Chain A
Amino acid sequence: MRLTSHAMSWIALILLAIPWSAEALQKEVVAIGGAEITVSREVLKNGLTVLIMENHTAPTIGFCTAFKVGSVDEWDGVSGVSHILEHMLFKGTESIGTIDWEEERFLQARIEEVRLQIQAEQSVRFHRDEEKIAKLTEEWMQLREAAKELANGREFGTILTENGARGLNAFTSYDATAYIVSLPANRLELWTILESDRYTKPVLREFYTEVENVREERRRSVEDSPGALLYERLTAAAFDAHRYGVEIIGWDSEIRTINRSEVEDYYRRYYAPNQMIIAISGDVDPEKTVAMIDAYFGDYKRQPPPHPVQTEEPEQLGEKRLEVEYDAEPRILMAWHKPTVGHPDNAALTVARNILDNGLSSRFERNIVNKGIAASISASVDNPGERYPNLFTVSAAVQSPHTVADVERAILFEMDRLKTEPVTAAELEKAKTQIETAYVRSFGSNMRSAINIAYEEAVLGNWKRRPEEILACREVTAEDVQRVAKTYFTKKTRTVGYTVKPEKEELESAMGGTR
């Protein structure tokens, strides 16, 4: 190849001359709250969307790669698969993280074969061959140890760390999955190489060890947290059909039993350039950056879009109530079904949320916390996600000596007041100013800017939907708030959950005497 050096530079010149003149990049500008948010957009031939925000304050870049897939896209038996894949995409590729890929590939295949054999044997209900299971398990453990000798699942992270990365992380939501990192600006090409390799040639190595870490994460973030446990069980009760009823991290039995091949199936189905958004905020030249991304991601093959979620949550037919026993001070969580972003009522519900709970002057703070009924309280308009109709939620920690029932009454009193009397002009104006200012604030760093635009592009279809929704809040009237309160905050469509301290079981018939 050495002899072609002259030809090489000739071809290179042509390549440089072709694309991405300054005009080719579409600039999207949104003026909101006195700020101008400017984003350059390019959609590559394979459907990959690149969004760039320039910020030359310092020689740094924030990166966010988001995929339009989250736990809501999962199916029965594999809950948590989105999140497990997110963990596994830190484990390297066919070249990063391996010592000898050909050898390792063979072992990885064999590990999965034996795993499936073990599971097949374990699924036999009667006269299971325990000896065979034990033998296979021993072989499986040995194979896994041997594979570890040929690989280093930390290499991907180590390379980035050594190059000065900050905030290397990822997150999975019900709606989308996003991978983030910040790097010094002279590492743009390094990121592009690693990131393109990561999604095109991933190796889910050390899989069955990482799954145990995910189970630890579940213990830590759900089971050790009474508030999170109540949330998991309440959403499960609130949704009869829709996958918004299954917590992102998944059920322990399904995390424990998922196979690597199932995660690989999921990966092939949902990870594709046309499902992907790259957002970059920082010290970059947009045209050159797009050219670089195209050079490395251009070969990544487009796929037919995956099936959308077809399930619609059927109308709730009556109030649902539940208790979660936990050795902790009592909490309450209430939820009402509501439409999501894009529905004309969502802006009014967002304003209602801010009037109830945003700042110490809000109604919940003033009338519930300040009265000593709850120790803390918060309302939300976007749980569990925003791609599909969702919930208006209110959660509170009870202040002793009050009870959960007292807090529930106080919350319902405030929800009812929204229906019976119009909110004041001052409350409306305050809510609108808060919503706008919070949005401007969310562009406070490169990392947060990149996450904002990538994530919202993935979830809402276009990052501008969010500022459009916020501008729609500007138009909301007191009558709108009253109307949506009457429409959505109904007993029939709500779910109410309490945590209660475990009590000794007694015969319930013995307690009341008569029935």
Chain B
Amino acid sequence: MTLQNSWRAGAAVLAIAIAVTLAVTPASALTAREKIQKLTFEPIEVTKQTPHRETLPNGIRVFTLEDHRLPLVDMVVIVKAGSLYEPADQSGLAELTGTLLRTGGTESMHFTDVDEKADAIAARFSTWVGTESGGALLNVHVDRLEDGVQLVADALRHPAFDPERYAVEMAQLREQIRRQNDSVQQIGQREFRKLLYGEGHPAARFPTTASLDRITREDLVAFHERYFAPNEMWIAFAGAITPARARALVDEAFGDWESKTVTYPEVPVVAGNSTPEMVHIQKESDQSIVSIGHLSMRRTDDDWALMRLANHVLGGSFSTSRLITEIRHKRGLAYATGSRFSTPYLYDGLFGAYAGTKGESTGEVLGILLEEVKKMDEAGVSAEELEVARNALVNSEVFEYENAQNIVQRLVDIDFYGLPENHYEAPFAVYQSADRKTLNEAIARDLKTDGLKILVVGDEAKFDVPLEDFGYPVRKVTLD
């Protein structure tokens, strides 16, 4: 990626301007504020690099973007396999499958040999199955790339799910469950999802000892067999590698893998409701975690870019947002506070605002969160706030082109989800042009303050205000 000449010239002009300023005016005469008011910025132009793409006969799509700054290569494999497709009563199946692809050995290599090999080439090598997709990540020195790609291919194509390693991973997942209530932050994140989505949806399904009891090693074998196929696979390379080398490596490692038809179960519809409700989880702790929110849009929603602007104002920006201002800057009530729209592609997302505060200010903070979200819903953003958010998002667009791996990953996502080619660029045009009226109408559509769910995790003995005082029905939940 190279810069255009206009910027180079601009830098030289700027340097002269400084020298002039300082030569004739004592530095103390101008304040920093005055100095920055005098600045003008040359427009930045980015030469956008297009990754190389091709499709193998068996359907694997390969994307490559060269970056020879360091002698390293990133390889990301995405497979259409996720916990969205696991049976509802076997929560943990997809996750365990994802882990054991890497750790369970292969048909030709014992797992200790795979571990040994991966460490000997100093690779970062992991596999996973998440909610919407699964795959593998590899970061390796270019001199040891071939060995790395072979390890990845072997893991994805011929995993052994060795019973000994399976038992270890299963026991570790059970230990994680045992530890899942050790801190209020952990409890808050998990239980908030459950509260919004309802426990049945994969987006809020967490492994339990009961769900693990219903999983066998053979279920992992079957899950892999069903969903891992070259025609449902995308591979992205970034770094010290040419498209030709990438193609040759993939041919060698994956070329003889035959395509097959994969059928997917229906993605479960999110069945959460919009009945206002407050849940309190008692936990002895110095700090309470307070979250409020509701189910919301997908990443492909027409309002997505507008809500990114709105959320920047409400609680998305660390420096300028209303929640940071009211809770942290003005009142000193929280180190961590903010809001977000979490927006997946294949199922409904969520909106949440949160804060962590000492037990004694739990009620005060909850009051502010409720008030700020309602105020945003009713009155929207001001013209000045919109300008700050607009500038922040528009000016940071250059960072989208800083990292080769991110660039190539975006292209994979576009292909994986079947999105329009301008999917990642389009929001910037919205940030640039959005007017206040349009934005505030969208806010009124997308913030649903009469259906808020509230979660408080903390020690009731310390609370400044009884939770019942907020007028929501309060349900008390006890964790095991």
Query: A159 within 8 Å of B by Cβ?
Result: yes
Choose one: B165, B317, B325, B402; the contact of A60 (CB below 8 Å): B402
B396→A184 contact, CB < 8 A: yes
B115→A94 contact, CB < 8 A: no
Q: Which residues of B have CB within 8 Å of A225?
A: 183
Measured CB to CB, the closest approach of chain A to B157, in angstroms, equals: 20
Query: A165 within 8 Å of B by Cβ?
Result: yes
Residue of A nearest to B239 (CB): A444
CA distance A243 to B333 in the complex (A): 29
Query: A59 within 8 Å of B by Cβ?
Result: yes
Residue of B nearest to A159 (CB): B36
Residue-wise, chain B 5-25 has the 8 Å CB interface mask toward A (1 for contact) of: 001001110111011101111
Measured CB to CB, the closest approach of chain B to A63, in angstroms, equals: 14
A224→B185 contact, CB < 8 A: yes
A283→B185 contact, CB < 8 A: no
CA distance A35 to B357 in the complex (A): 46
A329→B402 contact, CB < 8 A: no
Q: Which residues of A have CB within 8 Å of B32?
A: 93, 95-96, 193-194, 196-197, 201
CA distance A197 to B30 in the complex (A): 11
B320→A157 contact, CB < 8 A: yes
Residues of A151-169 whose CB lies within 8 A of B: 153-154, 157-166, 168
Residue of B nearest to A223 (CB): B286
B398→A58 contact, CB < 8 A: yes
Query: B392 within 8 Å of A by Cβ?
Result: yes
- The segment from A284-292, A301-309, A338-346, A471-479 that touches chain B is A284-292
Residue of B nearest to A214 (CB): B335
A11→B115 contact, CB < 8 A: no
Choose one: B16, B168, B330; the contact of A12 (CB below 8 Å): B16
Q: Which residues of B have CB within 8 Å of A497?
A: none
Q: Which residues of B have CB within 8 Å of A328?
A: 179, 182-183
Query: A79 within 8 Å of B by Cβ?
Result: no
Query: A359 within 8 Å of B by Cβ?
Result: yes
- The segment from B65-73, B76-84, B211-219 that touches chain A is B65-73
Q: Which residues of B have CB within 8 Å of A438?
A: 122
Measured CB to CB, the closest approach of chain B to A99, in angstroms, equals: 11
Residue of A nearest to B27 (CB): A299
- The segment from A1-9, A66-74, A117-125 that touches chain B is A1-9
Residues of A169-225 whose CB lies within 8 A of B: 182, 184-190, 193-194, 196-197, 201, 206, 208-217, 219-221, 223-225
A437→B332 contact, CB < 8 A: no
CA distance A284 to B237 in the complex (A): 27
B179→A397 contact, CB < 8 A: yes
CA distance A56 to B35 in the complex (A): 27
B36→A193 contact, CB < 8 A: yes
Query: B284 within 8 Å of A by Cβ?
Result: yes
Residues of A1-42 whose CB lies within 8 A of B: 1, 4, 7-9, 11-12, 15-16, 33-35
Measured CB to CB, the closest approach of chain B to A9, in angstroms, equals: 7
Query: B194 within 8 Å of A by Cβ?
Result: no
Choose one: B139, B165, B394; the contact of A441 (CB below 8 Å): B139
Residue-wise, chain B 30-72 has the 8 Å CB interface mask toward A (1 for contact) of: 0111111001011111100000000000000000000101111
CA distance A224 to B25 in the complex (A): 53
A224→B184 contact, CB < 8 A: yes
CA distance A360 to B127 in the complex (A): 13
B119→A434 contact, CB < 8 A: yes
Query: A148 within 8 Å of B by Cβ?
Result: yes
Contacts known (A94-B31, A224-B183, A329-B182); A12 close to B19, Cβ less than 8 A = yes
Q: Which residues of A have CB within 8 Å of B301?
A: none
Query: B299 within 8 Å of A by Cβ?
Result: no
A361→B39 contact, CB < 8 A: no
Query: What total of A-B pairs shows CB separation below 8 Å?
Result: 277
Q: Which residues of A have CB within 8 Å of B15?
A: 16, 288, 291-292
Query: B444 within 8 Å of A by Cβ?
Result: no
B391→A358 contact, CB < 8 A: no
Which range contains the number of B residues in contact with the other chain?
A: 35 or more
B286→A219 contact, CB < 8 A: yes
CA distance A446 to B70 in the complex (A): 12
CA distance A158 to B387 in the complex (A): 12
Residues of B119-152 whose CB lies within 8 A of A: 119-122, 124, 139, 141-143
A437→B398 contact, CB < 8 A: no
Query: B329 within 8 Å of A by Cβ?
Result: yes
A154→B36 contact, CB < 8 A: no
Residue-wise, chain A 74-114 has the 8 Å CB interface mask toward B (1 for contact) of: 00000000000000000001111000000000000000000
B334→A213 contact, CB < 8 A: yes
B402→A445 contact, CB < 8 A: yes
Residues of B357-405 whose CB lies within 8 A of A: 357-358, 388, 391-392, 394-399, 401-404
Residue of B nearest to A431 (CB): B119
Q: Which residues of A have CB within 8 Å of B23?
A: 8, 11-12, 15
Query: A295 within 8 Å of B by Cβ?
Result: yes
B44→A184 contact, CB < 8 A: yes
B395→A163 contact, CB < 8 A: yes
B72→A212 contact, CB < 8 A: no
B396→A165 contact, CB < 8 A: yes
Residue of A nearest to B103 (CB): A360
Residue of A nearest to B23 (CB): A11
Residues of A331-385 whose CB lies within 8 A of B: 358-362, 365-366, 369-370, 372, 375
Measured CB to CB, the closest approach of chain B to A185, in angstroms, equals: 7
B112→A361 contact, CB < 8 A: yes
CA distance A434 to B122 in the complex (A): 5
Query: A440 within 8 Å of B by Cβ?
Result: yes
Contacts known (A161-B320, A433-B120); A148 close to B330, Cβ less than 8 A = yes
A295→B142 contact, CB < 8 A: no
Residue of B nearest to A95 (CB): B31
Measured CB to CB, the closest approach of chain A to B248, in angstroms, equals: 21
Query: B435 within 8 Å of A by Cβ?
Result: no
Q: Which residues of A have CB within 8 Å of B124?
A: 441
Measured CB to CB, the closest approach of chain A to B287, in angstroms, equals: 4
A360→B71 contact, CB < 8 A: no
Query: A420 within 8 Å of B by Cβ?
Result: no
Query: B98 within 8 Å of A by Cβ?
Result: no
Measured CB to CB, the closest approach of chain A to B404, in angstroms, equals: 8
CA distance A96 to B30 in the complex (A): 12
Query: A226 within 8 Å of B by Cβ?
Result: yes
A189→B19 contact, CB < 8 A: no
Query: B448 within 8 Å of A by Cβ?
Result: no
Measured CB to CB, the closest approach of chain B to A112, in angstroms, equals: 17
Q: Which residues of A have CB within 8 Å of B27?
A: 296, 299
A162→B332 contact, CB < 8 A: no
B122→A58 contact, CB < 8 A: no
Q: Which residues of B have CB within 8 Å of A462?
A: none
Q: Which residues of B have CB within 8 Å of A168?
A: 318-319
Which of A184, A365, A399, A438 has most B Cβ within 10 Å?
A184
10 other A-B residue contacts (CB within 8 Å) besides A185-B3, A225-B183, A359-B119: A9-B20, A165-B396, A184-B399, A186-B44, A213-B332, A221-B335, A288-B11, A292-B18, A361-B115, A399-B171
What are 17 A-B contacts with C-beta separation under 8 Å? Answer: A60-B399, A96-B32, A164-B392, A165-B396, A184-B395, A184-B398, A186-B41, A194-B32, A196-B32, A208-B332, A299-B27, A328-B183, A329-B182, A360-B119, A369-B168, A441-B139, A443-B70
Chain B residues within CB distance 8 Å of chain A: 1-3, 7, 10-12, 14-16, 18-20, 22-25, 27, 31-36, 39, 41-46, 67, 69-72, 103, 112, 115-116, 118-122, 124, 139, 141-143, 165, 167-168, 171-172, 174-176, 178-179, 182-185, 284-287, 317-320, 324-325, 328-336, 356-358, 388, 391-392, 394-399, 401-404
Chain A residues within CB distance 8 Å of chain B: 1, 4, 7-9, 11-12, 15-16, 33-35, 55-60, 93-96, 148, 153-154, 157-166, 168, 182, 184-190, 193-194, 196-197, 201, 206, 208-217, 219-221, 223-226, 283, 285, 288, 291-292, 295-296, 299, 327-329, 358-362, 365-366, 369-370, 372, 375, 397, 399-400, 426, 429-430, 433-434, 436-438, 440-441, 443-446
The 5 closest A-B pairs by CB, nearest first: A164-B395, A157-B319, A212-B332, A95-B31, A197-B32
